[in-house]
Chains A and B, each alone.
Chain A
Amino acid sequence: MADAEEPEKKRRRVEELSEKMAVDSGCRDTGDWEGRWTHVKKFLERAGPFTHPDFEPSTESLQFLLDTCKVLVIGAGGLGCELLKNLALSGFQQIHVIDMDTIDVSNLNRQFLFRPKDVGRPKADVAAEFVNNRIPGCNVVPHFKKIQDFDESFYRQFHIIVCGLDSIIARRWINGMLMSLLSYEDGVLDPSSIIPLLDGGTEGFKGNARVILPGMTACIDCTLELYPPQINFPMCTIASMPRLPEHCIEYVRILQWPKENPFGEGVVLDGDDPEHIQWVFQKSLERAAEFKITGVTYRLTQGVVKRIIPAVASTNAVIAATCATEVFKIASSAYIPLNNYLVFNDVDGLYTYTFEAERKENCSACSQVPQKLHFSSSAKLQEVLDYLTENASLQMKTPAITATVDGKNKTLYLQTVASIEERTRPNLSRTLKELGLAEGQELAVADVTTPQTVLFKLNFTS
């Protein structure tokens, strides 16, 4: 390695450099210094045995990274902080970051761009400030917003998008957004409309990273079944036959809180409010005592209420490094990208594996195959709703169903607006025939999991 060789020569060079800087600093400060990009240039300005077969070394690639390549980082938390650091050090200087959260004390163990004094401030803002300060010339633009606050015109400007999200819904949303940007001419996908999406996720000692080329490779929805199911305890266990401390806590959260409204009528349980957690904790202890269950602690209470996922710096570092490397590979075309899914687990020793996730033929997000609904005409609308939420490939959260009946746009059911929910609720117990729906009818379904409505074709089975 260069470091260990010729230390004398190196020392002399550094001395010369320091002298030069002492003279120059008065005149101008470009932020750059000699040798700053030596390591990055080694990747871009020379070919090697591992480079992409089509790669042509060039001195212009670095300028592209520095001046032109626009990268969007979604999330400024555990993964986001790492991503911003890695991208900035790799030469990317036109970076945007979106995060809707503010800094919490529990973030400080791993989100190393934040300090105790920053608690309460928006993550995106603090992260951008820190990186821009530490890496001269880097221009991270923060957005203290939700991803849903932006539309196609915003996302279209980026060359590459990297996600460090903590929710599957959000992933599906950005996935759907990038699908909507694809343009087809005569059924052929226009490659210039593709924005690569790198997605990373971690949980404790486990993590995964994937490369998604919208329209070409498997997308988030293609592999929806890969995500582990959320642990939901059966209601009868919670209500009458608890055995675990978690059952007691869920009882208080789901049944007791709405009944007693301890902090006022309609005040929703806030997992970040220690007084709320304290109340749930006390009540859970009482319930546990009733059934002679041990193990209810404040920490467990918080974990169950907030659905806390344990997190540690090292896993985030590995996954973010993987994603950032792929961003570099794709932006520079210097190396063959990951194809296309990496899993990592160092609970027991260290395990990692890559494989090619396959596209689903009839994926509701990326296949362009019209989605079909098969129901009897005497089936109730509730059955359709249940299918949309329970089907493993769809897993919608709060779908809103509309259809064109008698030439008019009719909302069949919508639950996200209370007044409309009340008005359309009776439709759930009506049959599809009663609602005036015909064979071959198109139903438009909107949901948080996708920025665009999904069209379904209704096929009557009887």
Chain B
Amino acid sequence: MFGESARALCKRKRNEFKSGSVAMASVDKGKSTKKQKYDRQLRLWGDHGQDALENAHVCLINACATGTEILKNLVLPAFTIVDGHKVSGDDAGNNFFLTKSSIGRNRAQAATELLQELNNDVSGNFVEESPDKLLDNDPDFFCRFSLVIAVHLPESTILCLAAFLWGAGVPLLVCRTYGLIGYMRLVVKEHTVVESHPDNALENLRLDHPFPELKKHIQSYALENMEKRDHSHTPWIIVMAKYLEKWRSEHNSRCLRAIQKKKLFENLFDKISSGVDELLQDENSKNIKAQVFINQVEEDIGKLKSCVNSLLQENGLVVNVKDDYIHEFCR
């Protein structure tokens, strides 16, 4: 189920790039109320993330306070609450989505009404049934969901539910709270992360092997002849690349172990960066030392191959497994 959605997302992303500028213009032409309303979270996960949420359908089993809080925070996906219980006085006392007048009514229905009221864009449904009955009579009911959340279920029910959902490929979130203690456990067979928006991505710039156009561009800068002003406005990547060149010409890198190389490079880098304001101010440059990978490639293929074998054996895998992963050109 997830593999499919990942492929669909990748397809959409490719299409978006093609018609990028056109799409941007129509998106920017006046914001619709929905974009305004979800602006703060759109800045976190973008339009695709938002779509994924809006098209999801979540199932909550048991509308106790823990469960309704989860639905409140999700806000966007359609939801279905499965709960066979009636609202008790206790329930109405600790749940924001139940009131005094809910007491005696079916808990799934009562909670759905007050949760639905939170957001007109969302469709909320309820099933007045215990999950045990559903698992007995109509387990396929659970296949339609993007995620099932099970709150305060007895172990026997969870085991049965989990076995079924695992087979169906539907993720399960198991939660329980007890006083000031709580736990949650996520059961997912396989999950694909696409279009992540990481805060501090450490990018491997592969400056030690610049591609031809980049190499040409780097060579077009003559740092020594620059005035301070121009120097401090030179993109830090160029400065880095220049000094990397210089460092390599000064050191025979073959003889040194990786850790020694790294230390030497860092020392040289500290020396030059103290004089370059731009480097100091650029946020990214703080990670400079980590970002420049001095890639080491073992050139002896025979050595590489034997290394793979021993690694596989170390980890208890059959050596033949590597045939599934090694490109035919490398065999």
CB neighbours of B86 from chain A (8 A) = 10-11, 14
User: Are the CB atoms of B281 and A17 closer together than 8 Å?
Assistant: no
Distance A42 CA – B229 CA, assembled complex (angstroms): 69
- As a 0/1 sequence over residues 202 to 240 of chain B, the CB contacts with chain A under 8 angstroms (1 = contact) are 000000000000000000000000000100010100000
User: Are the CB atoms of A110 and B100 closer together than 8 Å?
Assistant: no
Write the chain A residue with the least CB distance to B283.
Answer: A231
CB neighbours of A241 from chain B (8 A) = 233
User: Are the CB atoms of B96 and A134 closer together than 8 Å?
Assistant: yes
User: Are the CB atoms of B40 and A42 closer together than 8 Å?
Assistant: no
CB neighbours of A21 from chain B (8 A) = 103
User: Which residues of chain A from 278 to 335 have any CB-CB distance to chain B below 8 Å in the complex?
Assistant: 281, 297-299, 302-303, 308-314, 317, 325, 335
Assuming the contacts A105-B36, A298-B31, asked whether A35 and B179 have C-beta atoms less than 8 A apart, the reply is no
Q: Is A253 an interface residue (CB 8 A)?
A: no
Assuming the contacts A303-B43, A317-B73, asked whether A33 and B198 have C-beta atoms less than 8 A apart, the reply is no
Instruction: Name the segment of A1-9, A375-383, A390-398, A443-451 touching the other chain.
Output: A1-9
Q: Is A144 an interface residue (CB 8 A)?
A: no
**Which listed residue (A43, A309, A317) contacts B179, Cβ 8 A?**
A43
Q: Is B275 an interface residue (CB 8 A)?
A: no
Write the chain A residue with the least CB distance to B115.
Answer: A112
Distance A429 CA – B283 CA, assembled complex (angstroms): 34
Contact-residue size bin, chain B (C-beta under 8 Å from the other chain): 35 or more
Most buried by A among B37, B64, B73, B104: B73
Assuming the contacts A35-B88, A108-B37, asked whether A237 and B93 have C-beta atoms less than 8 A apart, the reply is no
User: Are the CB atoms of A105 and B37 closer together than 8 Å?
Assistant: yes
User: Are the CB atoms of B38 and A109 closer together than 8 Å?
Assistant: yes
**Which listed residue (B37, B39, B96, B152) contacts A89, Cβ 8 A?**
B96
Q: Is B10 an interface residue (CB 8 A)?
A: no
User: Are the CB atoms of A310 and B103 closer together than 8 Å?
Assistant: no
Distance A111 CA – B281 CA, assembled complex (angstroms): 36
- As a 0/1 sequence over residues 93 to 135 of chain A, the CB contacts with chain B under 8 angstroms (1 = contact) are 0000000000001101110100000000000000000000010
User: Are the CB atoms of A110 and B233 closer together than 8 Å?
Assistant: no
User: Are the CB atoms of A312 and B37 closer together than 8 Å?
Assistant: no
User: Are the CB atoms of B42 and A38 closer together than 8 Å?
Assistant: no
Assuming the contacts A38-B93, A298-B31, asked whether A310 and B152 have C-beta atoms less than 8 A apart, the reply is no
Q: Is B24 an interface residue (CB 8 A)?
A: yes
Distance A299 CA – B32 CA, assembled complex (angstroms): 12
CB neighbours of A298 from chain B (8 A) = 28, 31
Q: Is A37 an interface residue (CB 8 A)?
A: yes
Assuming the contacts A109-B37, A299-B39, asked whether A314 and B89 have C-beta atoms less than 8 A apart, the reply is no
Assuming the contacts A3-B62, A231-B283, asked whether A109 and B41 have C-beta atoms less than 8 A apart, the reply is yes
Q: Is B255 an interface residue (CB 8 A)?
A: no
Q: Is B90 an interface residue (CB 8 A)?
A: yes
How distant is B314 from chain A, measured CB to nearest CB, in Å? 27
Closest 10 CB pairs of A and B: A35-B89, A310-B43, A36-B93, A311-B40, A18-B104, A314-B73, A298-B28, A313-B73, A38-B90, A35-B90
- Interface CB pairs A-B, < 8 A, 5: A1-B152, A34-B89, A35-B93, A236-B233, A241-B233
